[in-house]
Amino acid sequence: MLGSLRSIVQEVNSARDLPAVLRIIVTRVKQTMTTDVCSVYLRNVKKEFVLMATDGLNVEAVGRVMLTKGQGLVGLVAAREEPVNLDQAETHPNFEYFPETGEERYSAFLGVPIIHQRKVMGVLVVQQVKGRTFDEGEEAFLVTMSAQLSGVIAHAEATGALVDIHSDAGPTEAKFMGVAGAPGVAIGRTVVAAPPADLRAVPYRRCDDIEQEVVFFLEALAQVRANVRLLGDELANRVNKEERQLFDAYVGMLDDASLGGEVMDRIRQNISAEYAWSEVILEHVTNFQSMSDPYLRERASDVQDLGGRVLAVLQQSNQKKIVFPENTILIGEELTASMLAEVPAGRLAGIVSVRGSSNSHVAILARSMGIPTVMGAVDLPFTKLDSREMIVDGYHGSVYSDPSRNLLLHYQDIVDEDLQVVRTLESLKDEPCETTDGHLIELWVNTGLAADAVLSLERGAEGVGLYRTEIPFMLRDRFPSEEEQRQVYREQLAAFFPHPVTMRTLDIGGDKALPYFPIEEENPFLGWRGIRVTLDHPEIFLVQVRAMLRASEGLDNLRILLPMISAIPELEIAQMLIMRAYEELVTEGRKITLPPIGVMIEVPSAVYQARELAARSDFLSVGSNDLTQYILAVDRNNTRVADLYRSFHPAVLRALKDVVDASHSQGKPISICGELAGDPTAALLLMAMGYDVLSMSATNLLKVKSVIRRVSLIDAHELMLEVLALPDTESVYATLDDAFKEVGLSRMLKPIVPINR
Ligand code: PEP
Ligand code: MG
């Protein structure tokens, strides 16, 4: 049964739309369980369970039979959220007879709920004429099937609103949900950003000149054919006869009459060569994968490999350059910093990523750039949405493709209103960040791109609390040299002079990869990250520190920050290396001041050793993004657990407070540079806890300032004490919301930074 399970799931995964998904399920499950009926009921908007597909019951009943939760046996399965297995269904008190189904002949009934993200979306039923009890194995099979299919069904349902791209009917508005990534609303036209040679990420594009496209395609095919032949010849003496035959088989597959022929048929329907090729290859991959012969199943990866090679050639030789429209909405499966950087300055209006969540680094980057962003839009069929009109609602995490005129007008109003708020806040730029009772707190910014400096200074930033040096590293194709780094760092230090600039040493690993230094790990967030990487590579660390120190010559506004410190020796070794670089430079005759060296508190061990870390360093800075994920054991990048990532969880709040006390007990200043600092509500609590500096995306700075200027430290302190005593996140939200309403600040609660509240 395991084999059938896998092949059904594979077939379902490659089905084009919801009806096809359901058709495959009912026929294949009925066949595998050798039963008389298999049907799927799905919940509609009125919360009724509607018969959507059947193999065995009267097909006329599809779309007509509807049951509410608790009604009939199907409704009972939905209400109980567990299987119902009956050998004589008609004797059950819940049995309800629908004449249109022809159901009276079937006695045995097994129904299992289809549950996605805790919601019952439907019921999967098998029935049989002869009274019998489906055995435990069969029940387990159907439960497994349903659990595996629920995500696919949910995806197919969500994308079902989208008109078939191959049809001639015009596109219709469709809504997709994700998580809010960066605040704001963007209206624009999409461009799909895809990594090269990825068959599953090729955007659907049409071709205008069929003949030219066919020639272009055949040339690419011929090139790869020649390459594969060459490879076969080279290996001829080293491989056995069967393997040699495999090469010949590949060359054969690349024949115009084989895969090539199928692709050309699609090109003749005005589909681009890249898309047509990827579609054909993926269909063949699926066919191979669902074969029962393990040898043939293995061949799926060969076809995929071959497909990738041809695609790479097609993409390399494609001279049609991507045009980035005025208001580009960049969409893709997993966007990277370099993909954002490819969009010409001033054209990037919005971002939508299928993967990731609000604390992924792309989202952080987007916030610092002030680009409305939605992350984790898992159901977005991004490859089919190239060059379409789109609205990105970065406040609520929703995305609309081909929006109606009314929706456009509605969102245009929000864009205008936002612009108005920004203009109003601009007057605060040069005002101090001071409470009504005279307490001053500094608002600094987090940066990474050269462009961040302009926006930050326009917003009145008083320093840089976190300069993410990995960002300039990500935008290159090799490690930058000492001199290249010096220039980039100098620009940052000079732009903010005389304000302090806190430069964090290279923090890669986790979800931050350098294209030229891949780190492949089972569990990257608990792996080789941050300081662990650079201490293992002192040559990288020393070059970076030397570049920072040289860049600071004559400015003296540098502070160095060490990421992911989880033990005292890591700090000590890093300090020793920094001293070594400093002494080298002094010996070379440079006039450099030794900068303050600080520690990031972002893992629980550092919270518990904050006192010792503070005693041994010059300052602490809390990285609440990572600290939250490690305290709560919730991957900051995983959409599936995004709603468990709660920055206002009492455990997180208490850790934040303990760290302040530990740092101050050693007479050392402490700042916070996680995204939490940019949330106005959180900012009040953090100020009351005693943080000396809040460092945030420049986009949030004025809003935070405007809130702090309207409250007193005494009130904020009282609120903080009340909140710290609460047992759960919900009570924290409720208390904070009430407090904000009371002082007339609820308008400020419009999510300006998408912390999961
Ligand atoms: C953090 O973890 O809070 C932090 C500021 O660092 P990053 O988001 O770059 O991991
Ligand atoms: Mg971090």
Strands 464-468 and 501-504, by their bridges, are: parallel
**366 CA distance to ligand 2 centroid (A)?**
16
- What 8-state DSSP symbol labels residue 279? H
In contact, 21 and 160? CB cutoff 8 Å: no
Can you tell me which atom of ligand 1 is nearest the CA of 623? Answer: 3
pLDDT score for 752: 42
Phi, psi torsion values for 189, nearest 5 degrees: -120, 140
165 pLDDT above the threshold of 70? no
pLDDT score for 754: 42
The structure tokens listed for 578 are: 């920094």
pLDDT score for 314: 87
Ligand nearest to the CA of 623: 1
Find, among 732, 733, 714, 715, the residue nearest to 723 by Cα.
732
Can you tell me which atom of ligand 1 is nearest the CA of 466? Answer: 5
Assign 748 a pLDDT band (cuts: 50, 70, 90).
low
Kindly report the protein residue whose alpha carbon is nearest to atom 1 of ligand 1. Answer: 623
**626 CA distance to ligand 1 centroid (A)?**
6
**466 CA distance to ligand 1 centroid (A)?**
9
Kindly report the protein residue whose alpha carbon is nearest to atom 4 of ligand 1. Answer: 623
pLDDT score for 736: 93
Cis amide bond preceding 754, omega within 30: no
- Residue 519, Cα to own-chain centre: how many angstroms? 19
Ligand nearest to the CA of 652: 1
Residues with CB under 6 A from ligand 1: 364, 466, 468, 507, 602, 623-626, 673-674
Cα 549 to Cα 542: distance, rounded to the nearest angstrom: 10
Find, among 584, 580, 623, 578, the residue nearest to 596 by Cα.
578
753 pLDDT above the threshold of 70? no
Kindly report the protein residue whose alpha carbon is nearest to atom 10 of ligand 1. Answer: 626
Cα 663 to Cα 271: distance, rounded to the nearest angstrom: 62
Name residue, tokens 């326009």: 458
Cα 6 to Cα 721: distance, rounded to the nearest angstrom: 54
**624 CA distance to ligand 1 centroid (A)?**
7
The DSSP secondary structure of 236-271, one letter per residue, reads TTTS-HHHHHHHHHHHHHTSTTTHHHHHHHHHTTTB
Read off the pLDDT of each residue in 97-111 and give the average, rounded to a whole number. 88
In contact, 205 and 272? CB cutoff 8 Å: yes
Query: Three-class SS of residue 493?
Result: helix
Query: Three-class SS of residue 81?
Result: coil
Can you tell me which atom of ligand 1 is nearest the CA of 470? Answer: 9
- What 8-state DSSP symbol labels residue 520? -
Kindly report the protein residue whose alpha carbon is nearest to atom 8 of ligand 1. Answer: 625
pLDDT score for 117: 82
In sequence order, which ranges of 667-728 are alpha helices (DSSP H)? 680-689, 698-708, 713-724
Classify burial at 167, counting beta carbons within 10 Å of its beta carbon; exposed 0-12, middle 13-18, buried 19 or more: exposed
**581 CA distance to ligand 1 centroid (A)?**
25
Read off the pLDDT of each residue in 322-326 and give the average, rounded to a whole number. 90
Least confident range of 116-125, 252-261, 425-434, 575-584: 252-261
Q: What percent of the chain has pLDDT over 70?
A: 95
**169 CA distance to ligand 2 centroid (A)?**
47
Cα 171 to Cα 253: distance, rounded to the nearest angstrom: 36
Q: Annotated catalytic residue: which of 155, 361, 433, 649?
A: 361
The DSSP secondary structure of 93-160, one letter per residue, reads TT----GGGTGGG--EEEEEEEEETTEEEEEEEEEESS--PPPHHHHHHHHHHHHHHHHHHHHHHHHH
Can you tell me which atom of ligand 1 is nearest the CA of 359? Answer: 8
387: left (phi over 0), alpha (psi -120 to 50) or beta: left
Kindly report the protein residue whose alpha carbon is nearest to atom 6 of ligand 1. Answer: 623
* 361 part of the active site: yes
Mean pLDDT of the chain: 89
**201 CA distance to ligand 2 centroid (A)?**
29
Can you tell me which atom of ligand 1 is nearest the CA of 674? Answer: 3
Ligand nearest to the CA of 676: 1
pLDDT score for 131: 76
Can you tell me which atom of ligand 1 is nearest the CA of 673? Answer: 5
172 pLDDT above the threshold of 80? no
Ligand nearest to the CA of 673: 1
Assign 613 a pLDDT band (cuts: 50, 70, 90).
very high
**672 CA distance to ligand 1 centroid (A)?**
10
**362 CA distance to ligand 2 centroid (A)?**
13
- Ligand 1 probe mutation, 602, 620, 628, 695, most atoms within 8 A of CB: 602
38 pLDDT above the threshold of 90? yes
Q: Give the highest mean pLDDT range of 149-153, 290-294, 371-375.
A: 371-375
pLDDT score for 102: 84
- What 8-state DSSP symbol labels residue 390? E
In contact, 362 and 353? CB cutoff 8 Å: yes
Ligand nearest to the CA of 466: 1
The string of pLDDT tens digits covering residues 542-582 is: 999 999 999 999 999 999 999 999 999 999 999 999 999 99
Q: Which helix (H) or strand (E) holds 198?
A: none
The structure tokens listed for 206 are: 């049409």
In contact, 681 and 756? CB cutoff 8 Å: no
Find, among 757, 754, 755, the residue nearest to 372 by Cα.
754
- Ligand 1 probe mutation, 626, 686, 753, most atoms within 8 A of CB: 626
The string of pLDDT tens digits covering residues 424-456 is: 899 999 999 999 999 999 999 999 887 788 889
Assign 5 a pLDDT band (cuts: 50, 70, 90).
confident
